[in-house]
Amino acid sequence: MFPVVIGHTLTEGQRFTVKSGSTGTATGVKVGTYWHGNSELGLPRHGSTTLLLDPETGRLSAVIEAAAANAMRTAAADALAVQALARDDASTLTVVGTGTQAFYEAAAVARVRPIARVLISGRSEAKAAQLADRLSAHLSVPVTPTSIQAAVEAADVLVTVTTSREPLFNAEWVRPGTHVSAMGADGPGKQELPTALHARAALFCDVIEQTRTLGEFQHAPQHMPITPLRDVLRGDAPGRVIRDQVTIFDSSGFALQDLTLAEHILAAHTAREAT
């Protein structure tokens, strides 16, 4: 993997990131976009395009518009962290955020823990109600819009998926034993969690270099240890040590996920075309 490039246009609220990398079978870049004004056009504000290069010649071999697939990939990363770090009996899921990604996060987490109810909190009551209706039909469990304090205080698993640049809640609202997945911070200055929460939690991430520069833990003290989730999955580092421990996973996404996803999309397309 290589350093992330962050760019913007001359119009406020339009930015993009470029993440690049190479695996044994794929080389390329993922361009992630955020165009704030798209919501007024009835379009998603987030976009995702992956460009694959021919490993033999370096020429362009595929362009994949993968916004929907990227939302699933992001949620899958969250679910993997929940599976590795949350309590086995975690049954109350709180989602802070009401955008497109929030639906996928809840749907993915519900596949790895016995979620019996979902609480939704967001700035727009109307959007929270719409998301609750959609999730209720999909998950067949009670989904309730509520205040952020009530939602955070009740959470066994807490997922934040916003574009916030300041803490969304107070640290003392988080109960002992809660797992927190911070999915929104993906650029300098972004922040969803109160820094006071770091001191009473075990910190995990996907890529340390990214979480310190553009992820949630850019706001964590430099002396605090952060464990890559891969070390937990490999058995090289502990995850949750005791039941009442608070765990935090920060995900900023990385190129190798996007390249692998692109390969699977192409393989599925090729197989479908063959039939």
Q: Which amino acid is at 193?
A: L
Q: Which amino acid is at 238?
A: P
Give all strands of the β-sheet with 92-96 in edge-to-edge order: 143-145, 117-121, 92-96, 157-160, 179-182, 246-250, 201-205, 226-228
Q: CA distances (Å), 50 to each of 181, 183, 187, 211, 240, in order?
A: 25, 20, 19, 22, 34
Helix, coil or strand: residue 24: coil
Identify the helix (H) or strand (E) that includes residue 212.
Answer: helix 208-213
Residue 127 appears among annotated catalytic residues:
no
Are 181 and 82 in contact, with CB atoms under 8 Å apart? yes
Residue 165: CB partners within 8 Å, gap ≥ 6? 189, 190, 191
Give all strands of the β-sheet with 27-35 in edge-to-edge order: 5-8, 14-22, 27-35, 46-53, 60-65
Are 252 and 226 in contact, with CB atoms under 8 Å apart? no
> Which listed residue (19, 30, 127, 190) is catalytic?
30
Give the span between the Cα atoms of 25 and 220, in whole angstroms: 35
Active site residues: 30
